Structure 1
Amino acid sequence: MDNNPDLISRREFLVQASAGAAVLLTGAATLSCSSRSTSHIQGGMVGANHQAGHKLRNIPALYKLPISERLTTDVLIIGGGVSGLSARRWLNQKGIRDVLLLEMDAKTGGNAAYGKNAISAYPFGAHYLPIPDLRNKELVRFLEEVGAITGFDTKNLPIYSDYFLCHDPEERLFINGFWQEGLVPEMGVPTSDKQQIKQFFQLVDEYKQAKGADGLDAFTIPLERSSRDEKFRQLDTISFASYLTEKGFTSPFLQWYLTYSCRDDYGSTLETTSAWAGIHYFASRKGQAANANASSVLTWPQGNGFLADQLRAQADSPIRQNLLGYGLQRSATGVTVQACDVATNRTVVMEARKVIVATPQFITKHLVQHLMPERSTCTGFHYAPWVVANLTISGLPQGRGLPLCWDNVMYDTASVGYISANHQDLRDNPNKVITYYKPLTDEEPDVARRRAYTTTYEQWLTQILDELEVAHSGITAFVSQVDIWVWGHGMISPSPGFIWGQERQQAIQPIADSIFFAHSDLSGISIFEEAFYQGIRAAKEAMKAL
């Protein structure tokens, strides 16, 4: 039994949440549409310094900066996201300590960024980790090291910490004016549509069990360990939309759910997601545990920022922040790297025996343009822009149906819903932080990105509150703070032909056994598991070449 007095049972929580919801609903009924003033709401635009990254558009100007410092190291890692931190951790565990990591922002973590206030920590990016396949031994070991796995049962199945396993109630969907349990549409869905939904998930179960002629799983994580059988890989050449049409999956409710899934995991649509990636979303989850099932997830108030912080803590090699790498040149002893100190606008020159470039391709292409010009012209890497907002609230007007869950989605709206950041804290506290996610998929990514950067805080605030008011009438009056982060290049999109195409494979290849590459971009899917794997893969390659 857990001795933490701050935790209560799931049954008690549901009772309390239902009672609290009724109180909030009663209070909301007195609010009128004319009370939609937002003058009481504090906050603003936050986020990574994209202006620093934009310096790479004029590299000749960076080469003119005065040099303020010279350093040497065995291994230099450029990029402090999950892949870079994973590589640093792995090298440290193998006894490679002369390592330096550069991060152009003030904080490491990449898209596992998070914030914190008096109410709770909260994510600005990735916010959960599905329990992993036991064959992913490095990841299982890491989760054991950070206390997410507390032991193993007599069948050697991991026991996950109750603090980190997402508590019930986990998911709900607002549809037809009612909060239903789960995200697959049920309320008001015709029988014929329900039958199609059932058939789709039967097909997914078949794909989960499927193996190729090479004996490998058709779909798994890391995806590089998936079967090379053309029977499955040819699915990458067509869109998920075409695949569904071919299979006769025409139900608008099923199509909405699958569109939601693609937008949520990939920031893309059925038309811009490959069929292989669309199926992988469902068929690759094969985790096992003594106290959880394959669909269970681990989550924290700060989202995957918890995991990024743990990766950082597992190595003691130095990290230099606010340093933007901009030039890589081969030298007699390895690689010369130039970086701009964005605080002082001066250059730091580093000599490294080996370099791991753990940056997204839209950054990497600038770093290697003189060494390998062909890599700077890659056209297959497409990125989804996102908007993430954290709202601090003193109450949440609740409609009919299931009370507040961890993941809360509204049918047929612009966003993919919101999570309750302090869901794991089961104390009955009306003060909460909810994290709203919106992939910008209505326009071409470049157009959406430019529009996002020119949209004002007030405009975003209006859009977000207008949507939330649909399911939570009167919520605006309960909001005290809204902080908004625009991710111009939020995640790589697995467009048709990309995952198993030549361009991604070429981008993984090292340069002259001296420069190695690590990022979830190189998987084609932006999830923690892939970033973690890519960091270890690149670290192994660099260590072998030392």
Structure 2
Amino acid sequence: MKRRKFIKLTSLATLPIILQSCDWSEDTNGFPITVHTDIHTGHLIFKSQGFEKGDSISVETAIVGGGIAGLSAAYSLKDRDFMLLELSEKLGGTSSFSALGNTTFAQGAHYDLAYPSNYGDEVLSLLEELKVIEFQPWKDSWSFSDKQYLISNARKNICFEQGRFRGDVLVEGEEKEKFHQILKPFYGQMLMPSTMIDEKHSVLNEVSFFDYLNDRMNISDRFKRGLDYHMLDDWGGTTEQVSALAGIHYFTCRPYNTQVVDLFSPPSGNGYFIDKMRDQLPNDRLLTSHLVKSVEKVADGFLTEVIDIENNLVKTISSKNIIYAGQKHALKYIMPDQYELFQNTEYAPWLVLNFVMKDGIEKKGYWQNEMLTDDETFMGFVDSDMQETNDSDKRVLTAYYCLPSSSRNDLKNVEANREVIVSKTLGYLNEYFEKDLTDLVEHVFIKVMGHAMPIPKPNYLFSDKNENRLYENMTFAGVDNARLPLLFEAMDSGIQAARLLGDMDC
């Protein structure tokens, strides 16, 4: 099929529609496309029945999951006897990153902001110990030590809609003014970690953000589109889906009105923090490519069966304690008696596309490029032109899709539809840059995340499952334990999960 006809065809369908079928006509973009996904690893559970038995390992604490929460728990236990188990071949979870040659790019969460005093003393202490941040008393705040990764305020972000650029996703006018009047009383009240928020605000957790706003102002379709974009970008759901507490927290937790806020974005995204913690931990205690098959409670602790994917072995790990920092939906298969605690948690699937470009894009970039298009699942792109990288010749455009939960089962079709997914996304980038970028693309990487983030729906927050856990020596970490999907929350959850296991200096 000719390229023009092919692109015209794909422009008629949003990504969720494209993913529903494997029958799209093939087209060769002329560059390699690599898909990273763990979606097919489930078959190893059945295949492993024929695997040989491997080592039996005894440790004090087994940690399931090697993302931010799991690594934070491991760091808290760095002087103890622990073993961390991660399904993927690399640590990171939804904060993973990849590379082409010496060009590094994020495949998940990708930035963070300066740390004001109310972001949680324990997380600040951990990051200071890692030499990631330093205190600035004249601002009563924290900043990052690696200042080469700070993004210039002038080039932080821009919004593109219908061929025009503006400074903010939310359109200026009376609606925006009214909106900020409604939010004004909550500045300084929305703390991180969210467990620190005063209980007087719990009523905000019982209604949707849309219902809360709709009772206080008239919301046009256009303004709602901007609000939904923001909520999808950080929380994985629309204003109707997320709680008023989550929505208000998004807009008021950061000190935009009182100080200039540093934005920190290394090329590896939040993988930067993964590396900082990993470098302080014994490598032989961090087992990647290890799929947890089952966890069984026994008299003196737990027996965990683990599939060593690279060596086709089944290992048994005996531990006194377990910190479960993996995605909680998997408990349905791993430890069914614990799944009931999390069965109402809803996750947003994401796709991340990294376009590694050859030199030739003349247009100077903005770091975050918000794009409001015909496909409401498309979340724009990050441009490495504004980042300090090791490779000045390669420019990486990292595009994001936040998909509805109903699309999760269709992610199995990403590999078959990779050409049309890339062409669809490239069409948006072409529109933004006002030129066909096809010949400048060197390689495209697609990261599939079926359970990228929990959606903070009404009644999701303030329900820490550790308060009602079945076993005193099994704790839960991760933002899908009644937390907002943020770096601070993930780190704090890992620290607290380790602390709950005993009176230890974490």
Using structure 2 for the length normalisation, give the TM-score. Answer: 0.86
CA shift for structure 1 position 513: 1.7
CA contact (8 A) 1:119 1:433 kept: no
Which residues in structure 2 correspond to 1:43-82 (within 5 Å)? 43-53=32-42, 55=44, 65-82=51-68
Q: Does 1:486 align with 2:425?
A: no
Aligned-partner Cα distance in 2 for 1:300–1:165: 8
Q: 2:158 aligns with which of 172, 183, 195?
A: 172
Judged with a 3 Å threshold, the aligned counterparts in structure 2 of structure 1 residues 327 and 451 are, in CA distance, closer, same or farther, namely: closer
Runs (5+) with no aligned partner, structure 2: 8-25
**Cα-to-partner distance string for 1:188-230 (whole Å, 9 max, x where unaligned):** xxxxxx1110121232232114xxxxxxx3x21111111112x
Q: 1:85 aligns with which of 58, 71, 88?
A: 71
Judged with a 3 Å threshold, the aligned counterparts in structure 2 of structure 1 residues 65 and 359 are, in CA distance, closer, same or farther, namely: same
CA contact (8 A) 1:122 1:422 kept: no
Q: Does 1:234 align with 2:214?
A: no
Who wins on radius of gyration, i.e. which is larger?
1
**Cα-to-partner distance string for 1:319-369 (whole Å, 9 max, x where unaligned):** 111111222223343222111112233211111111111111112332221
1:71 partner amino acid:
I
Q: Does 1:142 align with 2:126?
A: yes
Q: Does 1:523 align with 2:489?
A: no
CA shift for structure 1 position 155: 6.3
CA contact (8 A) 1:43 1:482 kept: yes
Q: 1:302 aligns with which of 265, 268, 290?
A: 268
Aligned-partner Cα distance in 2 for 1:299–1:379: 34
CA contact (8 A) 1:119 1:432 kept: no
What residue in structure 2 maps to residue 18 of structure 1? none
CA contact (8 A) 2:341 2:465 kept: no
CA contact (8 A) 1:413 1:467 kept: no
What residue in structure 1 maps to residue 12 of structure 2? none
Which residues in structure 2 correspond to 1:522-541 (within 5 Å)? 522-541=481-500
Moved more, 238-247 or 261-270: 238-247
CA shift for structure 1 position 54: 5.4
1:203 partner amino acid:
I
Q: 1:183 aligns with which of 152, 169, 175?
A: 169
2:290 partner amino acid:
L
Judged with a 3 Å threshold, the aligned counterparts in structure 2 of structure 1 residues 254 and 461 are, in CA distance, closer, same or farther, namely: same
3-state DSSP class of the match of 1:104? Answer: coil
3-state DSSP class of the match of 1:453? Answer: helix
CA contact (8 A) 1:82 1:110 kept: yes
What residue in structure 1 maps to residue 18 of structure 2? none
* Aligned sequence identity (%): 24
What residue in structure 2 maps to residue 204 of structure 1? 183
3-state DSSP class of the match of 1:490? Answer: strand
What residue in structure 1 maps to residue 398 of structure 2? 435
Judged with a 3 Å threshold, the aligned counterparts in structure 2 of structure 1 residues 396 and 281 are, in CA distance, closer, same or farther, namely: farther
What residue in structure 1 maps to residue 427 of structure 2? 466
Judged with a 3 Å threshold, the aligned counterparts in structure 2 of structure 1 residues 483 and 532 are, in CA distance, closer, same or farther, namely: same
**Cα-to-partner distance string for 1:367-397 (whole Å, 9 max, x where unaligned):** 221xx26x34743111111111000123576
CA shift for structure 1 position 288: 11
What residue in structure 1 maps to residue 379 of structure 2? 416
What residue in structure 2 maps to residue 220 of structure 1? 191
Judged with a 3 Å threshold, the aligned counterparts in structure 2 of structure 1 residues 154 and 239 are, in CA distance, closer, same or farther, namely: closer
Aligned-partner Cα distance in 1 for 2:114–2:221: 30
Which residues in structure 2 correspond to 1:93-492 (within 5 Å)? 95-96=79-80, 98-118=81-101, 120-135=103-118, 136-153=120-137, 157-161=141-145, 162-168=147-153, 169-186=155-172, 194-209=173-188, 217=189, 219-229=190-200, 232-286=201-255, 293=260, 295-316=261-282, 318-369=285-336, 372=337, 375-376=339-340, 378-394=342-358, 403-414=364-375, 415-425=378-388, 431-441=394-404, 445=405, 447-455=406-414, 456-473=417-434, 474-492=436-454
Aligned-partner Cα distance in 2 for 1:304–1:488: 19
CA shift for structure 1 position 128: 0.7
Aligned-partner Cα distance in 1 for 2:60–2:407: 41
Aligned-partner Cα distance in 2 for 1:426–1:480: 17
CA contact (8 A) 1:508 1:517 kept: no
**Cα-to-partner distance string for 1:520-544 (whole Å, 9 max, x where unaligned):** 1013422111110110001001233
1:424 partner amino acid:
Q
Using structure 1 for the length normalisation, give the TM-score. Answer: 0.80
CA contact (8 A) 1:518 1:538 kept: yes
CA shift for structure 1 position 422: 4.8
CA shift for structure 1 position 300: 0.7
Judged with a 3 Å threshold, the aligned counterparts in structure 2 of structure 1 residues 40 and 438 are, in CA distance, closer, same or farther, namely: closer
Judged with a 3 Å threshold, the aligned counterparts in structure 2 of structure 1 residues 477 and 64 are, in CA distance, closer, same or farther, namely: closer
What residue in structure 2 maps to residue 19 of structure 1? none
CA shift for structure 1 position 435: 0.4
Aligned-partner Cα distance in 2 for 1:395–1:253: 37
Runs (5+) with no aligned partner, structure 1: 1-31, 187-193, 210-216
Aligned-partner Cα distance in 2 for 1:111–1:87: 16
CA shift for structure 1 position 40: 5.6
CA contact (8 A) 1:131 1:287 kept: no
CA shift for structure 1 position 165: 2.2
Aligned-partner Cα distance in 2 for 1:173–1:339: 46
3-state DSSP class of the match of 1:448? Answer: helix
Aligned-partner Cα distance in 2 for 1:138–1:327: 32
CA shift for structure 1 position 64: 7.0
CA contact (8 A) 1:513 1:545 kept: no
Judged with a 3 Å threshold, the aligned counterparts in structure 2 of structure 1 residues 287 and 508 are, in CA distance, closer, same or farther, namely: farther
Judged with a 3 Å threshold, the aligned counterparts in structure 2 of structure 1 residues 54 and 195 are, in CA distance, closer, same or farther, namely: farther
2:204 partner amino acid:
L
1:225 partner amino acid:
M
Judged with a 3 Å threshold, the aligned counterparts in structure 2 of structure 1 residues 50 and 347 are, in CA distance, closer, same or farther, namely: same
Aligned-partner Cα distance in 2 for 1:396–1:453: 34
What residue in structure 1 maps to residue 16 of structure 2? none
Aligned-partner Cα distance in 2 for 1:132–1:254: 30
3-state DSSP class of the match of 1:250? Answer: coil
Aligned-partner Cα distance in 2 for 1:288–1:159: 17
CA shift for structure 1 position 175: 3.0
CA shift for structure 1 position 85: 0.3
3-state DSSP class of the match of 1:50? Answer: coil
Aligned-partner Cα distance in 2 for 1:460–1:481: 14
